[in-house]
Structures are given as C-alpha cells and as structure tokens.
C-alpha cells in the first residue's frame, strides 16, 4: 500500500506512522488482506483432530512404524558353477527387495548348509572367506565350496537369507535358495522359497 506520509495518534498520546490508504481500492484490498489473515489463523488454530488420530501422551516417544512384510528375491549367477572356473570366485548372490520399505541399516544374515560365503568387491577385488554364516548389509555375496570333499555325494545346499530390523531385531523377510548338483562337481542354483 502506498504511504501518504500522514501520521496517526494512538491512545496514550504517542504518534506513529501508519499507512493510510490513498484510494477506495486500497481500502478493499486492506480489508481483504485482514479477512484472509484472520481466516487462516482461525482455521489453523481451531481445527480439531480427526476422530481416528490418536493423541500422543506426554512423556512417550513415538514408535517408528515397522514396515509390512517384505518380499525379497535372491538372484544367483552364473547358472552353473564349479571352483575350477576362473571367471568368478563363486555363485554371486544379489538381493532385490520387490515390495515394502526397507529400514536403513537393515541386517542381512546369510547361512548355508554346505560350503561357505565369500566377499569379492572393488577396489581390490580380493577374495575374503566369510564362513558358512555371514551378517552384513545389502551388498552382493558369493557362495562356494571345496572342490575336493571327502564324501562322494554332495548334499543339496540350502541357503537362507534373513533380513532383520536394525533397532528391534525383528525379522522383516526370510528367503531360501536351494542348490543342486550336476555330475557331483557343478553347483546349479535352483528354486527359491
């Protein structure tokens, strides 16, 4: 609004500058601005909580929502593997979250009934043996086995992945991958459950 340079006397004897509208259009704009401001204050301050909204109690911290059931898929590559192959240290196991929200820091626990897990990642690409049980994050992991076992028949391999909440430890997803054998030496990843 334009200033006209006039001053107003306030009760109490003080004089302060106050914008005085210079035309009737300025009065309407001033009134409209006051009505909109008052409406926003009233609507924002007096809106009741909906009946479905729980009122928080004083002194309690909000409980984070636990995501619903997660569906995970394990991708296994290559389709056949033998330790005699030189292109990979084992069967690469990658996890894909196909539904749900995964909390940051979720814990991935891998277990195998036969063989062991390996890590093989940049920048060194150094193979590190992790053992038959490994707990870590969502990074790829490799599965392998000793090529010269004492037994002639190798057992079917069951690999279990359990994803847990980092805070509560509650299981969020559980996935199984089975590996069978071709000619007692070549591992073949198969079905998941």
What integer pLDDT is reported at residue 112 of this predicted model?
A: 96
**Of the segments 12-16, 67-71, 104-108, which one has the largest average pLDDT value?**
104-108
In tens, the pLDDT along 110-134 reads 999 999 999 988 888 899 999 999 9
Cβ-Cβ contacts under 8 Å for 136 (sequence gap 6 or more):
107, 108, 110
Which residues on adjacent β-strands are paired with residue 77? 92
- Cis status, amide bond into 78, omega within 30 of 0: yes
pTM above 0.75, yes or no: no
Percent of the chain whose predicted confidence (pLDDT) is above 90: 36
Cβ atoms of 40 and 143 closer than 8 Å: no
Among 44-53, 108-117, 144-153, the least confident range: 44-53
State the pLDDT confidence band at 19, using cuts at 50, 70 and 90: low
Burial 65-98 (b: 16+ CB within 10 A, else e): eebeebebebebeeeebebeeeeebbbbbebebe
Cβ atoms of 176 and 192 closer than 8 Å: yes
What integer pLDDT is reported at residue 9 of this predicted model?
A: 52
Cβ-based neighbour number of residue 29 at 10 Å: 13
- At residue 162's C-alpha, the angle toward residues 193 and 100, to 5°, is 80
**Of the segments 62-66, 150-154, 158-162, which one has the largest average pLDDT value?**
158-162
- Domains of the chain, each with CATH number or no CATH: 7-44 (no CATH), 71-192 (2.60.40)
Tokens 């928080």 -> residue: 56
Evaluate if residue 86 carries a pLDDT over 70.
yes
In three-state secondary structure terms, 42 is helix
């Amino acid at each position: 609004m334009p200033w006209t340079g006039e001053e107003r006397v306030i009760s109490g004897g003080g004089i302060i500058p106050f914008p005085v509208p210079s035309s009737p259009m300025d009065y309407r704009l001033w009134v409209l601005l006051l009505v909109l401001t008052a409406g926003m204050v009233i609507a924002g301050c007096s809106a009741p909580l909906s009946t479905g909204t729980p009122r928080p109690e004083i002194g309690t911290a909000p409980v984070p929502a636990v995501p619903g059931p997660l569906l995970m898929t394990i991708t296994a590559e290559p389709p056949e593997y033998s330790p005699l192959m030189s292109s990979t240290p084992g069967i690469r196991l990658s996890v894909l979250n196909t539904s749900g929200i995964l909390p940051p820091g979720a814990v991935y626990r891998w277990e195998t009934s036969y063989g062991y897990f390996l890590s093989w990642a940049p920048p060194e690409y150094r193979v590190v043996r992790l053992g038959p049980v490994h707990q870590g994050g969502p990074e790829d992991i490799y599965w392998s086995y000793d090529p010269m076992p004492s037994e002639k028949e190798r057992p079917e391999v069951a690999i279990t992945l359990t994803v847990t909440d980092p805070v509560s430890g509650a299981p969020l997803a559980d996935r199984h991958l089975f590996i069978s054998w071709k000619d007692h030496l070549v591992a073949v990843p198969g079905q998941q459950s």
